[in-house]
Amino acid sequence: MKRLPLTNEIIISLAKLVDDSQEEKKRKPAHSDITFYVNKFNLQGGDPASAGRPLGKSKRVRHILDWGLENAPEEIEQFAAAIIDLVCGYGGFRVESENYVGKEYISNLQDALKRAGIQLFEDGTWVPTTLDNLSHQDRRDVLLTYISRAKRGVNDAALIVGTSKDLLEAVSAFVVETVRGSYDTKWNFPTLLGNAFSALELTARIPNDTKPNAHQRFEESLFNAALAVNTLRNKEGTGHGRPWLPNLGASEAKAALEIIGVISEYMLNKLSELGYK
C-alpha cells in the first residue's frame, strides 16, 4: 500500500488541498470521503469529527495528520497518500474541473514534497525521486508510473527524476539486477541494455549466419530502437528542461517518449513472464 512521508510542511500543504472555506461552492472530497479513510486506517483517535467536534475539512485533515504523525506513523502515511488519490479522483488536479484545488496549493505541496524526496506531477501522480533505497516492488511500481507517463508522451517521463537515469537505463538496470543479482555501474548504455536483453532471453543482435524468425527480428528492432532513442538524449541538460537534443522537434520527441514507454513496458512484462515478480 502506498505511503507518503510526512513533515510539518507537507501536513500544512496537504491539508490545504481540501480547503474550500473561501469558496461559495463547496468542492469535493466531502467530509464523508475523509471519514471513509479515517475508518479504513483506524485513525478515529485523531479525528475531531469522531469526538463530536465539527471542524472545516482543512482543519480536520491537518488535525488528523498531526495526531497520526505522533501516534500512528505507518497508518497516517497511508492516509496521506489516500488524500492525494482522493483529491485526484475528484478532478482536483485538473484545471477544467469544478473541484480544481488551485495552482498555488498544488505548487506549495510540490515544493514541500520535493524537499522530502517526492516528485508530485501536475496530474496528481507522485513517485520517489530516487530508486536506491526502495524495495524491489516499490522500484517496479515507480518504473511503471514513469512508463505510463512516457506512453502518453509526458516529457518528464524521459528521466528518472533525481537520479539522472534515462527510463530505459533504469529499467535495464532493474532487469539485470533482478535476474543476476547485480550489474556493473560502469557499463555504458548499449552494454547495459544488451545485458538486460540477454537476461530476458531476448535477441539483441542476430548473427550473420543465422536465418532469423519473426520474433528475433522484432526483438532486434526493439533493441536498435532503444539505442537510437538514447542518441537523442540531451546529455548536457539531464534533469533540467528538455531531455532531448535542441534540434529535435516536438513530434519526434513525443514519438521517442512513446517508444521508450513501449520498450520499457515490454521488458518488464518479459521479466514477469520469466517468473520474476
Q: Is the pLDDT of residue 99 over 80?
A: yes
pLDDT tens digit string along 194-215? 999 999 999 999 888 778 889 9
Q: Which helix (H) or strand (E) holds 165?
A: strand 165-166
Q: Is residue 152 part of a domain?
A: no
Indicate whether 258 and 178 sit together in one domain.
Answer: yes
User: Are the beta carbons of 184 and 255 closer than 8 angstroms?
Assistant: no
Asked if residue 133 is part of any domain, the answer here is: no
**Residue 179 lies inside a defined structural domain of this protein:** yes
Distance CA 171, CA 263 (A): 10
Is the entire prediction scored with pTM above 0.85? Answer: no
Residue at 102 is within a domain: yes
92 in Cβ contact with 100 (< 8 Å): yes
Mean pLDDT of 55-71: 94
Tally of domains within the chain: 2
Same-domain status, 53 and 100: yes
Report if residue 154 sits inside a domain: no
Select from 71, 103, 121 the last residue of a domain: 121
Listed residues 91, 121, 151: the one ending a domain: 121
Of 90, 121, 152, the domain-final residue: 121
Looking at the structure, tell me whether residues 245 and 167 fall in a common domain: yes
Q: Which domain holds residue 97?
A: 8-121
Output the average pLDDT for the chain: 87
Which of the residue ranges 165-174, 241-250, 259-268 would you say has the lowest mean pLDDT?
241-250
How much of the chain exceeds pLDDT 90, in percent? 56
Cα dihedral 37→43→49→51 (10° resolution): 160
In the structure, what pLDDT confidence band is assigned to residue 117 with cuts at 50, 70 and 90? confident
Is 212 among the domain residues? yes
pLDDT digits (tens, 9 = 90+) for 10-28: 999 999 999 877 777 788 9
